[in-house]
Amino acid sequence: MSHFRYTSAPHEGRRDLRNLRRMFPYIWEYRGRVLLAMLSLVLAKVATVGVPLVLKEIVDALDASQGRVLALPLVLFLAYGLLRLAGSFFNEMRDAIFARVRYHAMRRLSLQVLQHLHELSLRYHLQRRTGNITRDLERGTLSISSILNYLVFNIFPTAAEFILVAIILLGRYEWHFAMITFVTVAVYIGFTLAVTEWRMHYRHTMNSLDSQASGQAVDSLLNYETVKYFNNEAHELHRYDKTLQQWEEAAIKSQTSMSLLNFGQGGIIAIGLTLIMIYAGNGVVSGSMTLGDLVLVNTMMLQLFMPLNFLGIIYRMLKHTLADMDLVLKLLDRETEIRDKPAAADLKISRAEVRFEHVCFAYQPERPILQDISFTIPPGKKIAVVGPSGAGKSTLARLLFRFYDVSSGRILIDGQAVDEVTQQSLRRAIGIVPQDTVLFNESIYYNIQYARPDASKEEVYQAARLASIHDFISSLPQGYDTVVGERGLKLSGGEKQRVAIARVILKNPPILIFDEATSSLDSKSEQAILSALEEVAEKHTTLVIAHRLSTIIDADRILVMEQGQIVEQGTHHELLSAAGLYAQMWALQQEEKLIAEEVLHTV
């Protein structure tokens, strides 16, 4: 629990003000509407404050004790009704006018956050927890709507009404009426601020635990099969419940402290109203005030204190909402690790030659992954990279895509360094079939067409045929409209791999990367895919990262990596003749293949 404890810092108020200032660009686009909404707000409050004034005149007109002739003041009743109607009309006008401002601001912030998330580096996304991010994003997006709602519909109207009431009290009655009102409001606000600041850490704790619980729940569902494999349903529920138990304790403390705050606020208002009524009643008895004045003062105080009572809740909600918004703004403040240089130009492809020059790279400084890697993939040629797990093979693809920047050295395409060109143009020129294919929870057609959203149906079908998956898709009850499930879980590993191959065929880029592209396929499917890949790779510059050496024996050159270095290179036959690491790997895989065939024949 202590891990999540929030302590109010001196700079928190400054951060809240800064966050409020950062919100204004979202509403400035519709400043005309904002001004109209503010005008409607003022008119609504003028009408609201006018109601007790008319009510006073009605009471005085009907007060027989004043020695007046009792008659029905019809004009005053009509004025009373019109003021009530005007107050309601201008309030609704304010809401309707401001709706576009509020929801457009939500839309802009949501879009900006998602865009920023896409711009953040792969390093960030490998560390994040999806459930936490989605919950923080949801709360943060709603926060801008809530803040605008509190400011325009609660705080500004209450402030406007307070000013109007103060003017009337100071102008018409003795100074002590205004003084009691000012002191009551000041004590009320001071008490609310002090207690709310004291109990804010409970809300921050709740937020942290809520995000953590959401992250755990989403994580366990994303890893549904792993949970089942190890019979760990009870373990997942225990972790989730432990976090929810901490959240429950924080929520209870938050609620009980809020009850204390509400009682204190109610007590302050009750004392203020009682003093006002005592002075007003005394004024009526002494003759300095009429019965209508008593009604006027009482009604005005009730009108003022009713929203002021709600203002305590609004202040707390505003603080909570600012805390939610702070999470999103901190996310927006996170520096983008990989960004285009100011003078970056589009990549111009002429021959599609890829060159690594003395490339070194480390995910963490203390753990180097690549050390002085140099090789060239000539235009239209196929270079294969093999080696044990952890040798740094897949890192080559990530660096070529510029998911990370190299620590030293250069990667060039047609003589242009990848960090000197725009990321959009770089990635447009490269296609990849990854080892672990993740699909959108959409139709198979959507997932293939994703490579080129403007592709025609026939082009999508042709790509599927070349990837040897068209017949399988056509055999499904819903064909290409079959939804593949979250992360493509409704398809087998081989089927997902072939969808990925169809996708890269449709993209048809000049540079291709196959990152263990047949790792999920059986031998028969592998042979079918290999011939398709061979056809696809023809006239393309191709980098093949392979585990099965049998898939790359036709490569123009094979690089053998170990511990982040190229230890051997040559053709398949040259490397076998060298009797080094490659020859050992080949012999081992051939032995495994023979054993597998013997087992198959035995069965």
CA dist 560 and 547 (Å) reads 11
Q: What is d(CA 69, CA 64) in angstroms, rounded to the nearest whole number?
A: 7
The answer to which of 231-240, 315-324, 341-350, 515-524 has the lowest mean pLDDT is 515-524
Q: What mean pLDDT do residues 33-62 have?
A: 84
In this predicted structure, the answer to whether residue 524 has a pLDDT above a threshold of 60 is yes
Torsion of CA 215, 221, 222, 228, to 10 degrees: 130
pLDDT at 519: 63
pLDDT digits (tens, 9 = 90+) for 453-480: 999 999 999 999 888 889 999 999 999 9
Q: Do β-strands 541-545 and 408-413 pair in parallel, antiparallel, or remain unpaired? A: unpaired
pLDDT of residue 360: 95
**CATH class name, domain 435-508:** alpha beta
Pairwise CA distance, residues 444 & 469, whole Å? 11
Q: In terms of Cα–Cα distance, which of 594, 589, 534, 585 is closest to 386?
A: 585
pLDDT bin (cut points 50, 70, 90) of residue 4 is very low
* Contacting residues for 4 by C-beta, under 8 A, at least 6 apart: 204, 205, 208, 209, 246, 250
Q: What is the pTM of this model?
A: 0.66
- DSSP collapsed to 3 states, 319-365: HHHHHHHHHHHHHHHCCCCCCCCCCCECCCCCCCCEEEEEEEEEEEC
DSSP 533-570: HHHHHTTSEEEEE-S-GGGSTT-SEEEEEETTEEEEEE
Question: 360: which strand partners?
Answer: 408
- Name the least confident of 27-41, 77-91, 136-150, 475-489: 136-150
Is the model's pLDDT at 5 over the cut of 50? no
| In contact, 257 and 195? CB cutoff 8 Å | yes
User: Averaged over 84-95, what is the pLDDT?
Assistant: 90
Distance separating alpha carbons of residues 131 and 137, to the nearest angstrom:
10
**Four-point Cα dihedral 75, 77, 78, 82, nearest 10:** 140
pLDDT grade, residue 6 (50/70/90)? very low
Q: Where are the beta strands (DSSP E) in 348-434?
A: 354-364, 367-377, 382-386, 408-413, 416-417, 430-433
Mean pLDDT of 549-565: 90
Radius of gyration of the chain (CA): 36
Rounded distance, CA 310 to CA 315, Å? 9
Distance separating alpha carbons of residues 303 and 299, to the nearest angstrom: 6
pLDDT band at 293 (very low <50, low <70, confident <90, very high): confident
Higher pLDDT, 37 or 412: 412
SS3 393: helix
What was the pLDDT predicted at 456?
93
Query: What string of H, E and C letters represents the secondary structure of 113-157?
Result: HHHHHHHCCHHHHHHCCHHHHHHHHHHHHHHHHHHHHHHHHHHHH
Q: How far apart are CA 412 and CA 406, in angstroms?
A: 12
DSSP assignment, residue 70? P
The band of 583, judged by pLDDT with boundaries at 50, 70 and 90, is very high
Query: What are the phi and psi torsion angles at 544 (to 5°)?
Result: -110, 120
Question: Mind listing the pLDDT tens digit for each residue in 373-408?
Answer: 999 999 989 999 998 888 888 899 999 999 999 999
DSSP state of 244: H
Cβ atoms of residues 327 and 137 within 8 Å: no
Q: Which two tokens stand for residue 308?
A: 């002021």
3-state helix, strand, coil in the chain (%, to 5): 70, 10, 20
User: How distant, in Å, are the alpha carbons of 390, 394, 397, 422, 550 from that of 516?
Assistant: 14, 9, 11, 27, 12
Q: Report the mean per-residue pLDDT for the chain.
A: 83
What is the longest distance spanned by two Cα atoms in the chain?
125
Q: Do domains 2-333 and 435-508 have the same CATH topology?
A: no
* For the ranges 89-98, 320-329, 491-500, the one whose mean pLDDT is highest: 89-98
Q: Tell me, what's the pLDDT at 388?
A: 86
What CATH number does domain 346-429+512-571 carry, 3.30.70.20, 3.40.50.300, 3.40.50.970, 3.40.50.1980? Answer: 3.40.50.300
Give dist(CA 386, CA 446) in Å, integer: 33
Residue type (1 letter), 73: P
- What is the side-by-side strand order in the sheet with 408-413? 367-377, 354-364, 408-413, 416-417
Domain boundaries, the chain: 2-333, 346-429+512-571, 435-508
584-589 average pLDDT score: 90
Average pLDDT of the segment spanning 568-575? 94
How many helices (H) and strands (E) would you count in the chain? 19, 10
355, 376 Cβ separation under 8 angstroms: yes
Q: 3-class SS at 303?
A: helix
What CATH architecture does domain 2-333 belong to? Up-down Bundle (1.20)
Tens of pLDDT, residues 152-199: 777 778 788 788 888 887 778 787 788 888 888 889 888 887 887 787
- The model's confidence at residue 597, banded by pLDDT at 50, 70 and 90, is low
pLDDT grade, residue 416 (50/70/90)? very high
